C-alpha cells in the first residue's frame, strides 16, 4: 500500500525526463518499496553534508539575531539558552520526522525576520506576556495550515512570480561569494575554483569538496577558530504564558504575518520550485502545532525554511530528488544535537569565519538560483510581474516589520494583475 511516506516530486520536473511508453523501468522507482524504509540505500555523503551546511548557515548568522532579540528582552542566560534549545529542538524534530514521513527534504528553522522584529518590541512587554503572544501566534499559524486556507492562497500565485521571489531571496547569497573577495581573496577564489573543477569532474561532491578546501584555506589565511563551549546538556526553562491585548496586537499579530508571509510562503515555494508537491496542511500545521508546545520554553515559532531548504532540495544534495530527504533528516539530527548541547556546540558554528560561510552557502545555492531565475522569466506574458517581484525581494527592504519576500510577492501580483488585465482588453 502507499501512504504519505512515498511522496515524490511531481513530474515531469526540471531535473527529470519522462521515460518512453515502452521503455524498461528506471533503476530507481519513484516510490519506495511499500512499508520498507530504505534509508540505508538512500543515504549519501553529499546529502549528509548538505544537512551540515544547512546547520552551519543557520547557526553562524541567524542565531546572532536571536541572541540580539534575547538581549533586547533582558533575558538572563538560562532563559536565552532555553530559547535556543526550544527553536533548535523544534527545528530538529520537524526536519527529521517530516522528511522521513513524506520522503521529501523538509527543512524548518526559526524565523530570522521574526527574531529581528522582537529586537524592537520584546522589551516592551513582560516576558510571560511575550510567551503568551508566542503561543497565540503559533496557534494561528497552525490553524491557517490545517484548514488549508494558507495553501489555497499560495497556490493561487503564478509560478513565475513564486520563482522570482525565490530568485530574489537567493540573489544575496550568490552575490555574497564575490562580496567577500576583498576580505579573503585566497579563501573565496580557492573554494570557488575547487567547486568549479569538482562540478566538472565530480559533480555530486562539488559542495563538500569546496567546503573542505574552504576550511583548509581559512585555517591557512584568516584563521579557523574551532572553539567548543563548556557545560553539559541544556536545561529548558518553563515560563507560564500570560495574555494581554497589547502583547497580542504588538507581538502575536506581526509574528503571525511574518511567519506566514516571510517564512512559510517562501518555504513552500522552494519545495515546489524543486519539483516537489508539499502537503501544506501537514507541514504548516505540524510546525505551528509543535511551536505551540514549545512556546512556554521561549520559542517564538518554528517555520518552514527558505534559504537552508534551497541547499537541501537542490541537485547538489543528490542528483536523484527522491533521495534528498536524507539531507532533511541529517539537518534534523544535527539540530537536535546542537539544541541538546547548545553551550558546547553553538560557539563552534558562531566562530566560523564569515567568508567561509558566505562562499559555501553561495555555491550550494547556485543551482537553485539558476533554476528559479530561469523559471521566473520563462513565460513572456508574466515576465513584468516576475521582474518586479525579483527586484523588490532582492532589495531586502522591510516595511512594518515584514520582510522583502512578502512585499515582492505583493508588488509582483499587483503588477501582474494590472498588465494582464490590460492585455485581455
pTM of the entire structure? 0.67
SS3 annotation, the chain: CCCHHHCCCCCCCCCCCCCCCCCCCCCCCCCCCCCCCCHHHHCCHHHHHHHHHHHHHHHHCHHHHHHHHHHHCCCCHHHHHHHHHHHHHHHHHHHHHHHHHHCCCCCEEECHHHHHHHHHHHHHCCHHHHHHHHHHHHHHHHHHHHCCHHHHHHHCCCHHHHHHHHHHHHHHHHHHHHHCCCCCHHHHHHHHHHHHHHHHHCHHHHHHHHHHHHHHHHHHCCCCCCCCCCCCCCCCCCCCCCCCHHHHHHHHHHHHHHHHHHHHHHHHHHHHHCCCCCCHHHHHHHHHHHHHHHHHHCCCCEEECCHHHHHHHCCCCCCCHHHCHHHHHHHHHHHHHHHHCHHHHHHHHHCCCHHHHHHHHHHHHHHHHHHHHHHHCCCHHHHHHHHHHHHHHHCCCCECCECHHHHHHHHHHHHHHHHHHHHHC
Mean pLDDT (whole number) for 88-107: 94
Distance from C-alpha of 158 to C-alpha of 154, rounded to nearest angstrom? 9
Other C-beta atoms within 10 Å of 41: how many? 11
Predicted pLDDT at 180:
81
Handedness of CA 162, 164, 165, 169 (dihedral sign): positive
Predicted pLDDT at 158:
79
Q: What is the pLDDT of residues 208-246, one digit of tens each?
A: 788 788 888 888 887 776 665 556 688 889 999 999 888
Residue 12 has pLDDT above 60, yes or no: no
Residue 9 has pLDDT above 60, yes or no: no
Predicted pLDDT at 242:
93
- The residue with greater pLDDT, 9 or 402, is 402
Residue 14 has pLDDT above 50, yes or no: no
Residue 44 has pLDDT above 90, yes or no: no
Residue 69 has pLDDT above 60, yes or no: yes
Contact 168, 405 (CB under 8 A): yes
Q: For the chain, what percent of residues have pLDDT higher than 70? A: 81
Residue 412 has pLDDT above 60, yes or no: yes
Residue 6 has pLDDT above 60, yes or no: no
Q: CA 201: distance to chain centroid?
A: 29
**Residue 167 in grid coordinates:** 530568485
208, 271, 297 from 83: Cα distances, Å: 31, 28, 6
Q: What is the pLDDT of residues 316-332, one digit of tens each?
A: 788 888 889 999 999 99
Residue 15 has pLDDT above 50, yes or no: no
Handedness of CA 376, 378, 382, 384 (dihedral sign): positive
Predicted pLDDT at 62:
65
Predicted pLDDT at 134:
93
Confidence of residue 21 (pLDDT cuts 50, 70, 90): very low
Predicted pLDDT at 4:
43
Distance from C-alpha of 393 to C-alpha of 376, rounded to nearest angstrom? 13
Predicted pLDDT at 297:
94
- The residue with greater pLDDT, 5 or 401, is 401
Residue 276 has pLDDT above 80, yes or no: yes
Residue 10 has pLDDT above 60, yes or no: no
Predicted pLDDT at 394:
87
Q: What is the pLDDT of residues 335-386, one digit of tens each?
A: 998 888 766 656 665 566 778 877 877 777 777 788 778 878 888 788 888 8
Mean pLDDT (whole number) for 307-319: 84
Residue 41 has pLDDT above 80, yes or no: yes
Q: What is the pLDDT of residues 122-168, one digit of tens each?
A: 877 889 999 999 999 999 999 999 998 888 877 777 778 877 877 88
Handedness of CA 45, 85, 250, 148 (dihedral sign): positive
Confidence of residue 81 (pLDDT cuts 50, 70, 90): confident
**Residue 169 in grid coordinates:** 531571496
* Half-sphere exposure at residue 199, Cβ-oriented, CA atoms within 13 angstroms: 14
Question: Could you tell me which of 425, 361, 377 has the C-alpha nearest to residue 192?
Answer: 361
Predicted pLDDT at 54:
85
Average pLDDT, the chain: 79
Question: Could you tell me which of 369, 353, 310, 358 has the C-alpha nearest to residue 178?
Answer: 358
Distance from C-alpha of 87 to C-alpha of 336, rounded to nearest angstrom? 10
Contacts of 3 (CB under 8 A, 6+ apart): none
Amino acid at each position: 500500500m502507499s501512504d504519505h511516506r512515498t511522496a515524490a516530486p511531481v513530474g515531469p520536473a526540471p531535473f527529470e525526463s519522462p521515460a518512453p511508453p515502452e521503455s524498461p523501468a528506471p533503476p530507481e522507482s519513484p516510490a519506495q518499496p511499500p512499508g520498507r524504509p530504505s534509508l540505508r540505500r538512500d543515504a549519501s555523503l553529499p546529502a549528509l553534508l548538505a544537512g551540515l551546511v544547512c546547520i552551519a548557515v543557520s547557526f553562524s548568522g541567524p542565531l546572532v539575531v536571536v541572541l540580539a532579540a534575547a538581549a533586547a528582552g533582558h533575558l538572563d542566560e538560562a532563559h536565552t539558552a532555553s530559547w535556543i534549545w526550544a527553536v533548535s529542538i523544534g527545528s530538529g524534530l520537524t526536519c527529521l520526522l517530516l522528511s522521513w514521513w513524506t520522503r521529501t527534504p523538509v527543512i524548518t528553522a526559526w524565523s530570522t525576520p521574526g527574531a529581528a522584529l522582537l529586537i524592537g518590541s520584546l522589551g516592551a512587554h513582560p516576558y510571560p506576556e511575550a510567551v503568551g503572544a508566542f503561543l497565540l501566534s503559533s496557534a494561528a499559524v497552525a490553524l491557517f495550515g490545517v484548514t488549508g486556507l494558507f495553501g489555497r492562497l499560495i497556490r493561487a500565485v503564478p509560478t513565475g512570480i513564486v520563482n522570482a521571489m525565490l530568485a530574489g531571496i537567493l540573489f544575496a547569497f550568490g552575490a555574497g561569494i564575490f562580496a567577500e573577495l576583498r576580505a579573503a581573496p585566497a579563501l573565496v577564489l580557492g573554494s570557488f575554483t575547487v567547486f568549479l573543477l569538482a562540478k566538472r569532474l565530480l559533480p555530486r561532491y562539488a559542495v563538500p569538496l569546496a567546503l573542505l578546501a574552504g576550511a583548509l584555506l581559512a585555517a591557512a589565511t584568516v584563521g579557523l577558530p574551532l572553539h567548543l563551549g563548556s557545560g553539559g546538556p541544556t536545561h529548558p526553562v518553563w515560563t507560564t504564558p500570560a495574555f494581554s491585548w497589547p502583547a497580542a496586537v504588538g507581538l502575536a499579530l506581526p509574528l503571525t504575518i511574518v511567519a506566514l508571509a516571510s517564512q512559510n510562503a517562501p518555504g513552500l515555494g522552494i519545495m515546489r520550485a524543486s519539483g516537489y508537491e508539499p502537503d501544506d496542511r501537514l507541514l504548516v500545521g505540524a510546525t505551528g502545532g509543535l511551536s505551540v508546545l514549545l512556546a512556554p520554553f521561549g520559542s517564538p515559532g518554528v517555520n518552514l525554511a527558505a534559504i537552508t531548504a534551497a541547499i537541501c532540495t537542490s541537485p547538489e544534495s543528490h542528483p536523484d530528488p527522491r533521495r534528498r530527504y536524507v539531507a532533511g533528516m541529517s539537518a534534523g539530527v544535527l539540530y537536535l544535537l546542537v539544541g541538546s548541547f547548545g553551550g558546547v556546540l553553538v560557539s563552534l558554528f558562531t566562530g566560523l569565519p564569515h567568508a567561509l560561510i558566505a562562499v559555501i552557502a553561495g555555491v550550494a545555492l547556485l543551482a537553485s538560483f539558476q533554476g528559479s531565475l530561469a523559471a521566473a522569466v520563462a513565460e513572456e506574458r508574466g515576465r513584468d510581474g516576475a521582474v518586479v517581484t525579483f527586484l523588490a525581494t532582492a532589495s531586502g527592504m522591510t516595511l512594518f516589520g515584514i520582510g522583502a519576500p512578502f512585499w515582492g510577492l505583493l508588488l509582483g501580483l499587483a503588477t501582474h494583475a494590472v498588465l494582464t488585465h490590460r492585455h485581455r482588453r
